[in-house]
Amino acid sequence: MQFVPALETSAVTLTHPESQYVTVDKPGIFFSGKIHKYEHVYINGIRMYPERNGAFSYSISLKSGENIVAVQSKELFGKTHTITYHITFQKAVKRPNQNVFLQSEKAYYQTTKDDVVMRSTPVDAGMNRLGYLPNNTKLVVDGTFNEFSRVYLSEDNYGWVFTKNIKIVPKETKPETAKAENKTNIKPVKQTETVTKKEVKTAEPEKENVEEKAEPTFEYKPVTVTDTNTFKTVHDETFVIQLSDNAPYSAIVDNNKLVVTVYNVDSKSETYKKTFNLGKFPRYSVCMKDGVLYVIQKKVPFTKQTYSNRKVLIVIDPGHGGQERGAVGCFGDIEKNLNLKVALELRKYLEKANFRVRMTRETDKFMTLNDRVKFGQDNDALFFISIHLNSVPISSNPNLNEGTVVFYFNPQGEELAKTLAQSISTALKVKNEGASQASFAVIRPTEYIGVLAELAYLVNPKDVRVYRSMHFARTSARAIYNGLVKYINEVLK
């Protein structure tokens, strides 16, 4: 797939912005592209000075409304071209967040889908994930904050879930009532009752209202822990907590210990807590299903004595693909292609050293983030390495962002991220931006050690030279390989 620049003359190729008519929601925009040798290019009258290879990025600030930006190119012995960009700066119209907690009476709600994220704060981002609740988990809700509902966990302890992912539990379907009805076999009677009630409702609506008010207020029904068990296999150790029903829980890593807490439990503290030692190479998963909480700790498939590269499975994940092209560079280079090139080189290095390797994609195909995660989990990866090149939002200044940064989410990924950032930036001779924690889907799982490497910036004129060099893919791949081997030698063995 070729990238078509918005402007291409013999003097200049402009790759950003991608169209002459752009609307942005922040007061800035950058122009980037390539200026051909000996040509002069001006943006709003200011001369652009590119890097030696011709790459340039230039950031301008915008006033509210429409901004006219003239890009002028003067060929050495030729004509002058002028092209006009119409950049409209319009603040995003967000639905006003009230940012107040609206308390309501406690009521039972239940989740309406699997994997509802429960968070420690009412913010849809960052490191605040407590646990993933299955469908039909009952939650005591006592208020809302913006688009979140507050979940009562234990005294002075709350979680937050999206209001859109829960619904109120109707009184009739309370498990106790249902059981009682089943036992006494009064189902047909109930049906007749409903009909009668309806008739009453149409006839005497006021009386019905009075009846509703007289209904008993919220009745808290905590779950019970009925059993706990440990199951061991050669590959893993599973701790099972059996409950009378699904319940809210959290799984938090603290000082290399995994603390799993089940809430709304009928004990004095209203919680059931269990701490697991994670060891130096933690791989685990925590999930709840049908009233059972599973804590699975995977064993490292070797000891210091039995280690061989053959026992290490690495999933390489070339970012983007297919219709999702990723970012675009100053010269129109497309991120997904560069990612794949590096990934294929990396596979060669790893396989040559006898590591086992799987790739989420080997061709230019689209893959969802969930599929990538599942691929890593299904293949029982020890490491998951996602390969990307970086970009900046159109309103930022590309000249201020350069070099390598490697992201991790779980604490166990930090050391590898640091080692890789060091190794890659040294090999590519770019700035080392180090390791950084970020909540990206592919590095969130705890079953593998996941990192996402942003090798260099596509729109930084200095970095352009790096990723356009002939040996970029091989140099990056070797650097990742060396970093990984260093990490394995220092941490794993």
Q: Do residues 52 and 34 touch, judged by C-beta distance below 8 A?
A: no
The b/e string for 450-462 (b: 16+ C-beta within 10 A; e otherwise) is bbbbbbbbbbbbb
Helix axes 175-184, 187-203, angle to 10 degrees: 120
Which span sits near Zn ion by CB under 5 A: 30-38, 113-121, 263-271, 311-319?
Answer: 311-319
| 149 versus 401: smaller Cβ distance to Zn ion | 401
Are the C-beta atoms of 69 and 43 separated by less than 8 Å? yes
Nearer to Zn ion, 321 or 326 (CB): 326
Q: Which is nearer to Zn ion, 326 or 461 (CB)?
A: 326
Q: Which of 213, 243, 211, 238 is nearest to 227 (CA)?
A: 243
Taking the complex as a whole, how short is the minimal distance between the CB of residue 419 and Zn ion, in angstroms? 21
110 near 45, Cβ under 8 Å? Answer: no
Cβ nearer to Zn ion, comparing 144 with 337: 337
| Shortest distance in whole angstroms from residue 355 CB to Zn ion | 24
| Closest residue to Zn ion using C-beta atoms | 388
Whole-number Cα distances in Å, 181 to 75, 174, 189, 216, 457: 87, 11, 10, 19, 65
Give 101-154 as a DSSP string. EEEEEEEEEEESSSSEEEESSS-SSSS-EEEEEPTT-EEEEEEEETTEEEEEEE
CB of 39 to Zn ion, least distance (A): 31
Selected range binding Zn ion among 42-50, 180-188, 322-330, 482-490, rule: CB under 5 A: 322-330
Q: CB of residue 442 vs Zn ion: minimum separation in angstroms?
A: 11
Whose Cβ is closer to Zn ion: residue 372's or residue 388's? 388
Cβ nearer to Zn ion, comparing 345 with 454: 454
Q: Of 153-161, 301-309, 382-390, 441-449, which part binds Zn ion (CB under 5 A)?
A: 382-390
Rounded to 10°, the helix 472-487/414-428 angle is 140
Measured in whole angstroms, how far is the alpha carbon of residue 453 from the centre of its chain? 14
The pattern of x and - marking residues 326 through 355 that bind Zn ion according to CB under 5 A reads x-----------------------------
- In the complex with Zn ion, the residue whose CB is nearer, 296 or 405, is 405
Which CB atom, from 110 or from 339, has the smaller least distance to Zn ion? 339
What DSSP string describes 59-83?
A: EEE--SEEEEEEEEEE-TTS-EEEE
State the minimum distance, in angstroms, from the CB of residue 443 to Zn ion.
13
Binding track, positions 57-76, relative to Zn ion; x by CB under 5 A:
--------------------
321 binds Zn ion (CB under 5 A): no
Q: Is the distance from CB of 56 to CB of 82 less than 8 angstroms?
A: no
For residues 325 and 321, what is the distance between their CA atoms, to the nearest angstrom?
6
Cβ atoms within 10 A of the Cβ of 306, count? 8
Residues facing 160 on adjacent strands? 119, 150
Contact 15, 329 (CB under 8 A): yes
Stretch that binds Zn ion, among 81-89, 94-102, 319-327, 343-351 (CB under 5 A): 319-327
Give me the least distance between CB of 114 and Zn ion, in Å please: 27
Q: Among residues 317, 320, 298, 308, which one has the least CA distance to residue 358? A: 317
Q: How far is the CB of 327 from Zn ion (least distance, A)?
A: 6
Within its chain, how far is the Cα of 227 from the centroid? 34
Total residues at the site for Zn ion (CB under 5 A)?
3
Instruction: Quote the tokens at residue 202.
Output: 């149409």
* 122, 282, 319, 403: residue in contact with Zn ion (rule CB under 5 A): 319
Nearer to Zn ion, 48 or 452 (CB): 452
- Give the residue with the Cβ less far from Zn ion, 153 or 456: 456
Which DSSP state fits 389? E
Letters for 147-176 (x = contact with Zn ion by CB under 5 A, - = none) are ------------------------------
Q: Are 328 and 458 in contact (CB under 8 A)?
A: yes
Residue whose CB is less far from Zn ion, 319 or 445: 319
* Binding region for Zn ion (CB under 5 A) out of 41-49, 265-273, 383-391, 485-493: 383-391
CB of 338 to Zn ion, least distance (A): 10
Inter-residue long-range contacts of 270-279, CB under 8 Å, 24+ positions, other chains counted: 270/153, 270/154, 270/155, 270/222, 271/153, 271/154, 272/225, 272/241, 274/228, 274/239, 274/241, 276/239, 278/253, 278/412
> Whole-number minimum distance, CB 484 to Zn ion, in Å?
20
CB of 335 to Zn ion, least distance (A): 5
- Determine which helix (DSSP H) or strand (DSSP E) holds 16, and give its type and residue range: strand 12-16
Smaller CB distance to Zn ion: residue 159 or 326?
326
Q: Copy the structure tokens of residue 35.
A: 């200026």
Residues in 384-413 that interact with Zn ion by CB under 5 A:
388
Binding site for Zn ion (CB under 5 A): 319, 326, 388
